[in-house]
Amino acid sequence: MAAPVLRVSTPRWERIARLLVCVLGILLSLYAFHVETEKSRDTNYRAMCDVSNSISCSKVFTSRWGRGFGLLGSIFGNDSAMNQPNSVYGIVFYVFQLLLGKTLVFPLPQAHAIQRMGRC
C-alpha cells in the first residue's frame, strides 16, 4: 500500500516570484560567467557593466575574490576543482532553488511507523 501524500499549497504569487527571481539570478550569473571568460581571452574586452576604471564589474569578476569567494583558492589551491568562478556557484544555486520550488510533494510516514516511534 502506498504511503499517503501531503500536498503543500503555495500561493500563486509566491511561485511566480520564485520563478522570476531564479530566472533573473541564472541570467545574471550566466552574464557574469560570459564576462569572465571573455576577459580572460581578451584583456581589452569591455563589458556593459564596466562604467569607468573605478566602477568595473570585469575587474571584480577576474580578481581573487571572483573565484571561490576569495577563500577556496587559499584552502584547496588555485588549481582545485572547488575554486570555480563565483558565477558558476550562482548558476548552481539558482537552478537548485528552482528545482526545490518544484518539489512540493512530501510522503507522510506510515501510521505504524509513528506508533513504533512513540513506544521507544
In angstroms, rounded to a whole number, what is the distance separating the alpha carbons of residues 88 and 98?
15
Q: Which residue has the cell 583558492?
A: 73
For residue 32, the model assigns a pLDDT of 94
For the chain, what is the mean pLDDT? Answer: 83
Would you kindly state where each structural domain of the chain is located, as residue ranges?
Answer: 18-25+36-41+53-101
- The 10s digit of each residue's pLDDT in 26-78 is 999 999 999 999 998 998 999 998 899 888 888 888 888 989 998 998 899 88
Query: In the structure, what pLDDT confidence band is assigned to residue 22 with cuts at 50, 70 and 90?
Result: very high
- pTM of the shown model: 0.73
For residue 93, what are the contacts with CB-CB under 8 A and spacing of at least 6?
25
Average pLDDT on 16-28 reads 94
Q: Inform me whether the pLDDT recorded for 88 exceeds 90.
A: yes
Average pLDDT on 93-117 reads 68
For the chain, the three-class secondary structure string (H helix, E strand, C coil) is CCCCEEECCCCHHHHHHHHHHHHHHHHHHHHHHHHHHHHHHCCCCCCCCECCCCCEHHHHHCCHHHEHHHCHHHHHCCCCCCCCEHHHHHHHHHHHHHHHHHCCEEECCCHHHHHHHHHC
